[in-house]
Copies of this chain bind each other. A is one copy, B any other.
């Protein structure tokens, strides 16, 4: 059973975030809200998202899994305006999800979740942790895209750097400690990532959202941020690209 009402903007944020990793996803429903974990087809990036029932206008659900095509939700949401309330309902005998907004009703078949496993999110103990505004990450990615298809994230006691180079071209965004919201670093850490993955992961963040970043040396990066007014929480993991020397 699922019967919920939610602002279209929050549902759109959820779809934008998860849609950077997968098109089809298994959502785990419980009476407390929804959760989902997904890995991209190449097993390079992972998303772990929670949206508590407080993010909804109303929320009632039994413990169950539903398989969702995010593209169909995204297209449905284009029919809604900001601030409108979307109703979600699971019609059990049809095995379809019914969405309603304004005068529009859309029904879509649920996907078979048999082949969709919950990926286990590795517990990483990364030595450097910092919090940075979304706008800096977005600008650093834009700068790197001028140069290369890789991006290095480096941080240490003095600050945080986003860095790319290719042949003799180089670009670097440097944020000293005072430009960061928070910095916990007793050592230097640096890892290299595929730029297309990293840019996908952050493209849904807003300029002013504080993003928590955990960095190691040649280790995955963990990005974490809130959405839906702190009723939602997203964690992204991205595997490093080990530099061939």
Contact = CB atoms under 8 A, between A and B. Distances in A.
Nearest to A76: B146
A143 B174 contact: no
Interface string A128-139: 000000001001
Nearest to A172: B105
Given A142-B79, A146-B72, A167 B105 contact: no
Q: Which of A78, A103, A147, A172 has the most CB of B within 10 A?
A: A103
Interface string A52-85: 0000000000000000000010011011000000
A228 interface: no
A68 B235 CA distance: 42
Contact of A171 (B106, B143, B169): B106
Contacts of A94: 168
Given A104-B173, A173-B103, A174-B103, A109 B167 contact: yes
A105 B171 contact: yes
Contacts of A171: 76, 104-107
Contact of A108 (B104, B168, B173, B179): B168
A102 B78 CA distance: 36
A105 B146 contact: no
Interface residues of A, number: 32
Contacts of A177: none
Contacts of A76: 146, 171
A93 to B, nearest CB: 13
Interface in A170-191: 170-175, 179
Contacts of A12: none
Interface of A: 72, 75-76, 78-79, 94, 96, 102-109, 136, 139-140, 142-143, 146-147, 167-175, 179
Given A103-B174, A103-B179, A109-B168, 18 more contacts: A76-B171, A78-B142, A78-B146, A79-B139, A79-B142, A79-B146, A94-B168, A102-B139, A103-B173, A104-B171, A104-B172, A105-B172, A105-B174, A106-B146, A106-B172, A107-B170, A108-B168, A108-B169
